[in-house]
Amino acid sequence: MKLEKPWGEVRVYTMNQTSTVKLITLEPHQETSIHYHQLRDDMWVILDDGLEVRIGDRVYRPRAGDEFVIPAEQSHQIRSLGSRGKVLEIDFGFTSEDDTHRLADRYGRDLEDDLDF
């Protein structure tokens, strides 16, 4: 399944209630919203250099091969610093677009009422 996003695309390779595997592609100078999920943990495997990762208040400049685990309810974001970048995402728990709670978004999509992050 392919999901178009304003910053690029997400390709979902497996999806079930135990785990879901996705390939996230960010176009140059684009970013995901700052968001969290209540019903799942995420694991990111960085596939390309040139990305910035925000998890909670911490910001990282990972290299290809670096891995991050984001627990449920932890805010997170991926940003391209200039070139197209890919991240392998493995979700553990219930995966649904309805469980994406945006705190900040440069594309004007709906946000949570509570911006305490």
CA triple 44-49-51, angle to 5 deg: 65
pLDDT string in tens for the chain (117-residue length) = 888 999 999 988 877 668 899 999 999 999 999 999 999 999 999 999 999 999 999 999 999 999 999 999 999 999 999 999 999 999 998 888 899 999 999 999 999 865 443
| The 67-70 sheet, strands edge to edge | 2-5, 8-15, 19-26, 85-93, 40-46, 67-70
Q: Are strands 40-46 and 101-104 parallel, antiparallel or unpaired?
A: unpaired
Q: Which domains does the chain have, with CATH numbers?
A: 2-97 (2.60.120.10)
What's this model's pTM, rounded to 2 decimal places? 0.83
